[in-house]
Amino acid sequence: MARLFAPLEQRSLTLRNRLVVAPMCQYSAVDGVPNDWHLVHLGSRAVGGAGAIIAEATAVSAQGRISPSDTGLWNDGQAEAWSRIVRFVACQGTVPGIQLAHAGRKASVAPPWLGGIAVTPQDGGWTPVAPSGVAFSETSPLPRALHESELKNVVDDFACAAWRAKAAGFQLAEIHAAHGYLLHQFLSPLSNHRNDEYGGSFENRIRLLLEVIDAVRKVWPERLPLWLRLSATDWAEGGWDIEQSVELARIVKSRGIDLIDVSSGGLMHGAKIPLSPGYQVPFASRIRNEAGIATGAVGLITKPEHAETIVENGEADVVLFARELLRDPYFPRRAAKELSGELHAPEQYLRAW
């Protein structure tokens, strides 16, 4: 059997294969509530055969949304709406996952197809918060630096969102500390200019993330895996880098993180990133081998053979797909055919197989 289609066991959970749908924001919710678009979008990829689906970056508070159209998990109504989607995904044999996120200084902007411009409070936006009062770009909203006393609220928001995710039936949770959002902003000295116990040294800059992990792990069932998405490098001098990522991975492994979903960038506007198929795989490989923790590889991976090689060579334990699964929800079934992998079709589709 192709390694890409070998089951993956994490705690009490088994993914039927190593193909995972990466979290992709749809910017289609109202008041944080997912709707029929999310059901069909995520449901079609479950029918498509993915081992797990991680729903889009879902805000732990209204202030933590990227845009006013983001999904959320800060109230019970949102959790109830998610539960319908979760039930359908799980019934297809796919593990339903959720990414818990806070946008920080990258909040209160319009969806990408509307230019991603700042949304003012008068137009339904809000003042973003961040480790320090430094904007993401010249056209981004100027954030307000969080007071140290407010950080407990951030931690509590993540824990409460994780509790609601459990209530909604999600079986996999991922904490978002990548792509320049709030937890990543605390990690990087380029965005974290604080002089209290949450800024300065490596130990201080990772403090908020560790507090979030500990709080989430307390409410997230011990039998279910908890993943962490990390930007392995800022692609900028003096920023967060792969060496710090490896050291962080060693620490979070002992605190209940089961897999590092390895991405990169997103913190610095205009950073030069050497894009090519699988350009982030070496980061996943280093973290896996040097920190001794499972990893996921992502980034312009579009060919089944490429994904198979990544897993076969021990560079990562799962491969996450984003744009390729927007283009083709049934990519896992195509990959199974090309690689002679085992992936059963739904009964309703058997006539085509």
Q: What single letter denotes the amino acid at residue 171? A: Q
Give the residue among 238, 226, 183 at the shortest CA–CA distance from 207. 183
Q: What single letter denotes the amino acid at residue 150? A: E
List, in sequence order, every beta strand (DSSP E) within the chain: 8-10, 13-15, 19-21, 52-59, 95-101, 129-130, 144-145, 172-177, 226-231, 259-263, 294-297, 318-321
User: What single-letter DSSP state applies at residue 326?
Assistant: H
Instruction: Please confirm, yes or no, whether 181 is among the known catalytic residues.
Output: yes
DSSP string, 259-275: EEEEE---SSTT-----
Sign of CA dihedral 160, 163, 164, 170: positive
Q: Which of 181, 198, 279, 349 is catalytic?
A: 181
3-class DSSP state for residue 276?
coil
Give the largest CA-CA distance in the chain.
64
Report the alpha-carbon distance of residue 185 to residue 133 in Å, rounded.
11
3-class DSSP state for residue 250?
helix
> Tokens at residue 33, please?
């509530």
Q: Which residues pair with 109 in a beta bridge?
A: 118
| Residues noted as catalytic | 181
